Chain A
Amino acid sequence: MRNTLVLFKRELAGYFSTPVAYVFICIFLLLCGILTFYLGNFYDAGQATLGSAFFEFHPILYIVLIPAISMRLWAEERKQGTIELLMTLPVTLPQLVLSKFLAAWAFSGIALALTFPLWITVNYLGDPDNGVILASYLASWLMAGGYLAMGACISAVTKNQVIAFVLAVITCMLFLIPGLPQVSEALAGVLPSEVLVEAVRSFSFMTHFGAIARGVIDLRDLVFFASVIGVFLFMNAIVIELKKAD
């Protein structure tokens, strides 16, 4: 536990010792703003809510932005050779995997939290359901965690950050599109039974994100994100064990 904390601290501080963190946060906030006010028509909707204009875009936004955080997690360690340093310290592999993931997740949480001016704006302009907004924030953060776990695992596969980025974008997309309404409809035409369509749909982040973001915190959705994170971190550890010496 203590080691995980020490490693976590170094990782998180690492984001802020370079411009990476600041650039990322600026771009994230900028994109959030643009999407909300232009694409989302925040003002024209005339509703005191963040759901349709702000959180709706997060699944798409994360497809590009989350791999940008996760791509360097292991690829950089392997390229610099620091993985050898790290793994000969008296720490365990689960501690390393967990601390890296948690630091990245905390960082994405910080970026997300910095969108609070929107929340203030909504509260200033109207009388929103803050419970739903809180649930949406939670959903968004959980989704970021799922994507990050995937990205971390993929980052361990290669030494090249660009490859890690592209592969992570594609993987994240695969876990999103089955939940898009158009795709679901198309699937319904192809797949023989409704059960199968539901099964495919239930693998989508969109489905579970949407459920929590509506303010319904169902245990099944939480379990979904927790298992995605767990499975990918477990795979991450295996990949590291196999590839660390290459």
Chain B
Amino acid sequence: MDAERSVANALVRPPPDLEPHDFPFHPQPLLEQTLPMGAMIEIENLQKRFGAITAVDGVSFQVERGTVLGFLGPNGAGKSTTMKMLTGFLPPSGGTARIGGHDIQTDGLAAKQLIGYLPEGAPLYPDMTPEAFLLFIAEVRGLSGAAARARVAEVTEKVSLQQVMRQPIETLSKGFKRRVGLAQAILHDPQVLVLDEPTDGLDPNQKKEVRALIRSMQKDKVIILSTHILEEVEALCSRVIIIADGRLVVDCTPTALAAKSRWHNAVRLELQQDETDRVKSALADSYGASHVEKLGPASLLVTTKDRRAILPEISQRAQKEQWKLEGLHVEHGRLDEVFHDLTRAGSRN
């Protein structure tokens, strides 16, 4: 009974011969068609050298409104440096970036007005209270008096900071501090939100809250976030950029990225333990022994060289040969593995 249900579930999934980014419910291709106007963020051949070290080496990409862009890369790959140039903190050594058409070097103030930025580690003034700090940010952002207070109250509610507004920031927990950082970044309702590792160092509940917050804001904005957590990219982002050694190595959707995985379209079978060997040899006959992997005493993984969809044929065969299946699942590819392959390959060049 259970076996049948999981087979049925597996079969309901979209036809596997469609490439993930062609899938009609995915927003990315639609956006590209309906928004022909200039991209919100345009980065052209951005470079940054620190002495002899080249931290960012000719990165170019564009981002449209409505995109949540995940910025991935190993530590020291140039993610933060790229973000620092994008937000106008560091001047590029070469190339440039434009935010809403404003060049960050020649028209920096206008560009900065469009950006909300959470720097890495969410630095804050420890002696200030969140209230004083957010009012300060509001005033710098051009609000004053009652308007500033109203906006601070609004944002405070959004990130649930109400109960700590009058405590010095240094006495707050890490989660609250991060929320203060997020609050200052979204205070002026920016069109571009740049978040450098927004969930780093938070506990799972806090991570979830921050992700929910990001998701609630993605409409009509550009959100760029860097992270080490690949599941976060899958959960939040509509586009992924991987940077390794200062170069852009991947620019695609998370699903397309997962499709690059050796595991993409692999089928995992959960069996009754006494069946495992029989099924394993049966599968080895048709897919080759090296493509059938025993994951545990009652679990097999079948991959193919060309990563084609093999679920239908396996499930048919299971019914025909009456395997005692407990479960049948399609793997969509593992981002961590792709990430590892891509960033390692980058460092070898």
A-B contacts, CB under 8 A, total: 65
Q: Are B125 and A80 in touch, CB under 8 angstroms? A: yes
* Chain A interface helix/strand/loop/mixed: helix
Q: Is A182 an interface residue (CB 8 A)?
A: no
Question: In whole angstroms, how far apart are the Cα atoms of A85 and B84 in the complex?
Answer: 10
Checking A14, A18, A81, A90 against B112 with a beta-carbon cut-off of 8 angstroms, the contacting residue is: A90
Q: B16 interface residue, CB < 8 Å from A? A: no
Contacts known (A89-B112, A90-B113, A90-B141); A245 close to B123, Cβ less than 8 A = no
Known A-B contacts A81-B119, A84-B89; the reply to A90 vs B109 at CB < 8 A is yes
Contact A80/B88 with A90-B109, A92-B109 known, Cβ cut-off 8 Å: no
- B61: shortest Cβ distance to chain A, in Å? 20
Contact residues of A between 49 and 106, Cβ < 8 Å to B: 80-82, 84-85, 87-92
Interface membership of B87, Cβ < 8 A: yes
Residues of chain A with a CB closer than 8 A to B89's CB: 84, 87-88, 244-245
Q: Interface of chain B, helix or strand or loop or mixed?
A: loop
A99 to chain B, nearest CB (A): 11
Q: Which residue of B lies closest to A92 (CB)?
A: B109
| Interface size of A in residues (CB-CB distance below 8 Å) | 22
Cβ-neighbour of B87 out of A6, A13, A88 (below 8 A)? A88
Contacts A90-B112, A90-B113, A91-B140 given; indicate if A85 touches B127 (C-beta within 8 A). no
Q: A6-B140, A7-B140 are in contact. Are A245 and B112 (CB under 8 A)?
A: no
Q: How distant is B151 from chain A, measured CB to nearest CB, in Å?
A: 15
Interface residues on B, range: 20 to 34
Q: Could you tell me the distance in whole angstroms from the C-beta of A222 to the nearest C-beta in chain B?
A: 33
B124 within 8 A of partner (CB): yes
Q: Which residue of B lies closest to A89 (CB)?
A: B140
Contact yes or no, A82 B124, CB < 8 A: yes
Report if A82-B113 is in contact (Cβ < 8 Å); known contacts: A89-B140, A245-B90: no
Nearest-neighbour CB distance to chain A for B49, whole angstroms, equals 12
Question: B58 CB to closest chain A CB, in angstroms?
Answer: 19
- Within the complex, which residue of A13, A84, A92 is in contact with B123, where a contact is CB–CB below 8 Å? A84
Is there a chain A Cβ closer than 8 Å to B172's Cβ? Answer: no
Instruction: List residues of chain A with CB under 8 Å of any chain B CB.
Output: 3, 6-7, 9-10, 13-14, 17-18, 80-82, 84-85, 87-92, 244-245
11 A–B contacts from the bound complex (CB under 8 Å): A10-B136, A14-B125, A14-B128, A81-B120, A82-B124, A85-B184, A88-B88, A88-B117, A91-B109, A245-B50, A245-B84
